[in-house]
Amino acid sequence: MIKLTRRKGFNFFRSYYDVYNELNDKEKVEFMDALLDRQFLGVKPTELTGMAKFAYISQTNSIDSQVKGYEDKTKTKLSTPCLGGEVGGVNTPSQQEEEEEEEEEKGKGQYVYTKKDFLKDWNILRTKHLNKPSFSNRLTFDDSKNLDSIKKDYTSEQIREALIGLFKQKHLPNGLTVMQSNPKHFLEKFESYFTAYHDKNDSLYGKKEIA
């Protein structure tokens, strides 16, 4: 049975894959069904049990944040019924491409969180929380791609929260201060720092500096 959805896709984080690989075949199906129904239909699982339930709960913060980011950005509830002709419904590839172009056109003139905005937030929050002047003014091609990917599921406010999650870390592996001085690491490990912010975890890498 085809389930009509409004959403066209979401970021599948490495942490999802990690917990998935800890499950047996039956549990993997249950976990993936719950994850996909939540991400595409907004449906929270109520019948998960055992390890499948544990795996889903371990990722709840990330999953719910992705859903909220999409719903806040589009001002649409995923649980709202979707008809076949609507955005995200059953369409041919060419129809979907046309719709994406239309959405891009509609978005012109509206607020968009840009690379410039991100770098401004990076410099302000790094200076505030580390008491170190920061003047980052560019992103590499890969960094820009990672930022674009994050923006699909997270709001600008959530990105700022994740930045605080990074700058609040008290100890870094092997004293790698570059982790807090260059956006590359943050953009690659965004989910970890977003989760750390909401968990109030300032010791992702342990209580003492790892030598």
Q: Where are the domains of the chain?
A: 14-107, 115-199
Question: Minimal CA–CA distance to 42: which of 19, 66, 15?
Answer: 66
| pLDDT for residue 98 is more than 60 | no
pLDDT digits (tens, 9 = 90+) for 22-71: 999 999 999 999 999 999 999 999 999 999 999 999 999 889 988 998 88
Tokens 């066209």 belong to 8
Distance, CA of 16 to CA of 45 (rounded, Å): 16
pLDDT score of 178: 81
Q: Which residue has the higher pLDDT, 102 or 26?
A: 26
pLDDT score of 209: 46
pLDDT digits (tens, 9 = 90+) for 125-172: 999 999 888 888 899 999 999 999 999 889 999 999 999 999 999 888
Q: Around Cβ 68, how many Cβ atoms within 10 Å?
A: 14
